[in-house]
Amino acid sequence: MSKKVIGLLYGGNSPENPISIKSATNIFNAFETFDTLKNKYSLVPIYIDYDNSWEVNFELLKSTDPKENPDFIFTGNFEIHAPNSNNAIAKIDSAISMVHGSGGEDGSLQKYFSELGIPLSGCDEACSVLGFDKSLSHDRARESGVDVTKSYVYDSATSQEISSDFSKHFDDDKIYFVKPARSGSSFGITKITTLNQLESAVNEALKFDTKIIIEEGLLGSNFVEVECAVLQKKVTGGADDDLHATLPCSIHVKSEFYDFDTKYENEDAVEIKYPALIPDDLREKVRIDSQTLFKTFGCSGLSRFDYFVDVLSGTVYFNEINTLPGFANVSMFPKMLEAEGIGIVEIIESILSFA
């Protein structure tokens, strides 16, 4: 039986390009390392550069057996050609996307592959659009009965207009987070405690999106930030798919909040505990809410759900969904699944089965 040809998409034109390379490296190494994958699939890494050019590129993925880039030509119809030849060496059967951020998680890549008729791993266009927009995902979560913190949304407004309006709602006794509504990896997020900080925070968020969300902060010793991984698996002979929602992990930061530098650049600034340091009943509520939201959002294959848990009141507040969680060495999505006996091979097989 001939091997299926899998395209591994990575890079992209967003600030998350370097994180995408790290995620794709671990996926690539899995295909290089495990016979289960090597015997079934031929993997073709396809790098998307900042200028949106696409090319076959092994070199950027630091595999256990580094390879130079083969002299292949990548065509727009997803065929691989030798130079000066019109004969296809291979055609991509389906693809795994590790393109994080705008252009990768916002529905545009999903729409493109749907139009091409090539199966792509992960959530579809509609779910990706919903998940990438914090205000839309908050609205949908509220509709499903999941608690969400109070927020204010501004679309296509100037920083002066936003500051003027939000000043009417500002409470000196609270803290707020000013965020781009559509951006990943905590880019453009600022914590503010005074009105004097508002305009500069809004200007920072506007660098990443024209739509801004300002959320009431949930900080204090009684609030714990947690993450939950959900993997959709085929059940042999069963009528329903199995949604495996892990026990959550808890994130304990020593900096202002869990920002990009804390996640990827300064591991000493954060301590992650698995299972989360919250009561058992709240761990279970996080799992159930994550399964509920996976279905509510129309997710496919995999997603990660982030929350703030009030251990005093027992309230679990939905924060955001990541429809394309990372696979970098510091990423908690694969780590939580591995802790529950689901390794990288099973994760890859599962997400390919739902492409």
Domain of residue 37, CATH code? 3.40.50.20
Locate tokens 């050019």: which residue?
A: 53
How far is the C-alpha of 295 from the C-alpha of 123, rounded, in Å?
A: 11
State which residues form the domain around 180. Answer: 151-216
Residues 168, 142 share a domain: no
Residues 225, 209 share a domain: no
Residues 233, 203 share a domain: no
Residues 266, 136 share a domain: yes
Of 163, 198, 216, the one marking the end of a domain is: 216
Residues 206, 228 share a domain: no
How far is the C-alpha of 100 from the C-alpha of 326, rounded, in Å?
A: 8
Residues 158, 29 share a domain: no
pTM check: above 0.85: yes
Residues 241, 116 share a domain: no
Domain count, the chain: 3
Residues 333, 232 share a domain: yes
Position 266 confidence tier, pLDDT thresholds 50, 70, 90 = low
**What SS3 state is found at 127?**
helix
Position 268 confidence tier, pLDDT thresholds 50, 70, 90 = confident
How far is the C-alpha of 282 from the C-alpha of 305, rounded, in Å?
A: 14
Residues 199, 172 share a domain: yes
Residues 142, 269 share a domain: yes
Residues 229-234: what's their mean pLDDT?
A: 93
Locate tokens 């609030």: which residue?
A: 223
Higher per-residue pLDDT: 291 or 79 = 291
Q: Has residue 26 been placed in a domain? A: yes
Q: Has residue 125 been placed in a domain? A: no
What integer pLDDT is reported at residue 242 of this predicted model? 87
Q: Has residue 266 been placed in a domain? A: yes
